[in-house]
Each structure stands twice: as C-alpha cells, then as structure tokens.
Amino acid sequence: MNDPRDWNNHSRWEAAVSLAERMVARGDFRAVAFQAYEGEFSPCVRLGTQRDGQPLDGNSLFLVASLTKPVVALTVLDLVQDGTLSLNERICDLLPEWNTNEKRRITVRHLLSHTSGLPDQLPNNQELRARGASLEEFYQHILSTPLDFAPGSRVQYQSMGFVVLGELVRRLTGENLGTAVRKRIFEPLGMTDSYLGLADHPEAESILARVTSVELDAEQAATAGNWNSAYWQSLGAPWGGMLSTPVDMLTFCASHFAGVPRKSRFLPYAVLTEATVNQLPFLEDMNPRDRSCRPWGLGWRLNWVGHRETFGDFLSEETVGHWGATGALMWLDPRWERACVLCCSRPTSESRIPLIRLSNAIQSAMESDD
C-alpha cells in the first residue's frame, strides 16, 4: 500500500499529514481522517484511534452530521430533474397540511436554501431524542411550530426544513428517505460505506460497531439520544444522521466537476451546477445583509470568507461546502476542480480551528508543483 504521505511526491502534502499527526499527538482530537481530490484522489489519511484504542482503518465509519444535508438536497434535485416537482412549488401544494398562515408561502427552494423561516431545532429536541422519537414525531412537532420570519426574507440555518424535505421525498416516491438516497445517490456513485438509517438493515449491529465515537463531555454522554447512541446513529435524521467515510463523501464532492466523465456523474451537470449557485439574489424580499454576506446554494453553503465558519482561508469565492457538528468538513472548489473531506472525533465546537488549519494545509498541497 502506498505511503499516505507520498501523494505525487508533494512535500506540502507530507507537511499536511505531519500537521495532522501533531494535532492528534497534542490532543486536538483523538482521531482524524481526510482525503483530497485534484484531478485524482489522494490517499485517504487515517490517524489516531477509536475509543477502544484500536487504530482507524478503512473499515472505520463517521457520523458526518450535517454533511448529510447536501446529499438529501441532491436527492430532492433528482426529483426536480425528472419532473416530479419544481423548485418554486409551494410545499402546501405537495403536502396539504402546510396550507396554513405564512407557512403556505414556503417553497422547495426556501427549504433547500435555509430561507423558510423554520427553526434549526425544535424547542423540545432533547426531550424527543431522549425518548427515542421517530422521524414522524419530529415532523408532527414541526407542523405546529411557528415560523421565525416570513419565508424568503432572511437566512436562518434550519435543520427542521430537511425533515420536511424528507417527508416530501417519502410522499412523492413512496419510499423512506434512506431508501431514496441509497437508490438515487449511494448506488449510482458507488458509495458502498454510506448509510442513512439502519432500522431495517440486516447488518445494523456490525455497521454500528464500525462507527468512530464522538468525544462527548460527561454531560453530553449522559444524555439519552446523544451522537454515540445506537438510536441516533440508526434513526436516519435527514438533517444529520448519515454514516459515511471521507472516501465516499469525496466521491460525492468530485462528482460535481465538469472534468469528471459523464458516466461518473449521478445527475446532469446542469443540476449539479445549480446546487452550488447562490440562491439569495433570486429572492426579492431577502434581507440585504444576508444577501451579500451569507450566501447559500441548494443544500450547499458558499464559503463565508470573513466568518469564523469559513471552510478555508484561501479558497475561491465559488467554493461550496458544509460543516458537520460531530467534527466533519467538506468543500469543493468548482473553479479549480478541487475538493477535500475531513472527519475527526471531536465536536466541531471544539475542533473547528484545527480543522480550518488542516484544510488550509491540504489546499496548499494541491497548489504545489514540487
């Protein structure tokens, strides 16, 4: 097997791997895995250990949290491209229970671009998770939750909008979201180590045994329904329940590039391109500050260069990506057809700065010609 330090003999790639080793050694996170793409895939670097002290290996999975959202979004866009629905359709015309007050104005585009007015999490989120609530229960609570603002007037990260999208997919296809994602994304791309929901999976127990545990503090670990619970990892939450690997997620990212052979793409290039385009200029009532400073595509977020949640300090303004709260980051730069996925064991609230630094070093390695 090739040494993961030696990607086309780039000294900067070796420096990036060495940086990651130092991060693990000094305790920035117990484990980290990452891979990059620039015309070809780098080796996947895996460093550190599982909770039981066993080293990460090619069998290790990560709960990638909100990296789930672009995957769910592309599943919805697959339904758009085959004529099942359209982006400016009102949700209430597809899900009649939404035909009430301001909620009747919410469109598919609003849900995909975080402009619906729905909250990120429900007020009783922890209670629902503690008693092992189903996705249907989450959906019913969202129906009775008031909007925070008129649809299309502001940007607010809204995980609950993706629960609505999951229900939309279920109603339109007759399949649960996990099945639809598998058929429309995972299987066409060969993402054989990715799962969204394990309730009916015959190998659920062995799959769960492969998941890299998140480094929870004592208070979080004592909370029922936490990230390391079998309930959460099996639920298939549309906003953050996917299990995957850097290799599979990078395959997903690279499929968006024009230079990738058509047979390697799972959707027409026009659809993939639209997903990465800033949607806010199309919304006439959008708040000017959000329009200029907080751009969102369809499921993808554009790089907020001056924000603490940037994906990297030297990425082009066309770069799109997503953070995952469990310690995950992915980005793709359509201008240069480069992409990167990083997964670590420590929540992003504690590992964001190390991950941004590592992202910078990996991008620099892609710039190098030595």
CATH code where residue 236 lies: 3.40.710.10
Structural domain includes residue 5: no
Question: Both 236 and 345 in a single domain?
Answer: yes
Structural domain includes residue 186: no
pLDDT for the residue numbered 56: 95
State how many domains the chain has.
2
Domain coverage including residue 88: 69-178
User: How far is C-alpha 142 from the geometric centre of its chain's CA atoms?
Assistant: 21
For residues 176-203, average pLDDT: 96
Question: Both 59 and 74 in a single domain?
Answer: no
- The mean pLDDT value of the chain amounts to 94
Per-residue pLDDT of 337-355, as tens digits, reads 999 999 999 999 999 999 9
Letter string b/e over residues 36-75, b meaning 16 or more CB atoms within 10 A of that residue's CB: bbbeeebbbbbbbebeeeeebeeebbbbbbbbbbbbbbbb
Question: Both 249 and 352 in a single domain?
Answer: yes
Question: Both 159 and 305 in a single domain?
Answer: no
Structural domain includes residue 184: no
Question: Both 228 and 354 in a single domain?
Answer: yes
pLDDT for the residue numbered 7: 66
Question: Both 89 and 220 in a single domain?
Answer: no
Question: Both 220 and 307 in a single domain?
Answer: yes
Question: Both 100 and 19 in a single domain?
Answer: no
Q: pLDDT > 90: what percent of the chain?
A: 85
Question: Both 229 and 166 in a single domain?
Answer: no
Structural domain includes residue 83: yes
Among 178, 202, 230, give the residue marking a domain's end. Answer: 178
Q: Tokens at residue 150, please?
A: 């008129």
For residues 64-79, average pLDDT: 98
pLDDT for the residue numbered 200: 87
Per-residue pLDDT of 297-331, as tens digits, reads 999 999 998 889 999 999 988 899 999 999 999 99
For residues 45-58, average pLDDT: 93
Active site residues: 66
- CA 70 – CA 15 distance, rounded (Å): 30
pLDDT for the residue numbered 268: 87
For residues 156-167, average pLDDT: 98
Lowest-confidence region among 7-11, 261-265, 306-310: 261-265
Asked if residue 70 lies in contact with residue 218, where contact means CB atoms within 8 angstroms, the answer is no
Structural domain includes residue 74: yes
Query: Residue type at 275?
Result: A
| Residue 264 scores a pLDDT above 60 | no
Structural domain includes residue 45: yes
Asked if residue 138 lies in contact with residue 235, where contact means CB atoms within 8 angstroms, the answer is no
Question: Both 104 and 57 in a single domain?
Answer: no
Name the band, by pLDDT with cuts 50, 70 and 90, for residue 15.
Answer: very high
Count the neighbouring beta carbons within 10 Å of the beta carbon of residue 17. Answer: 23
Per-residue pLDDT of 353-370, as tens digits, reads 999 999 999 999 987 554
Question: Both 41 and 76 in a single domain?
Answer: no
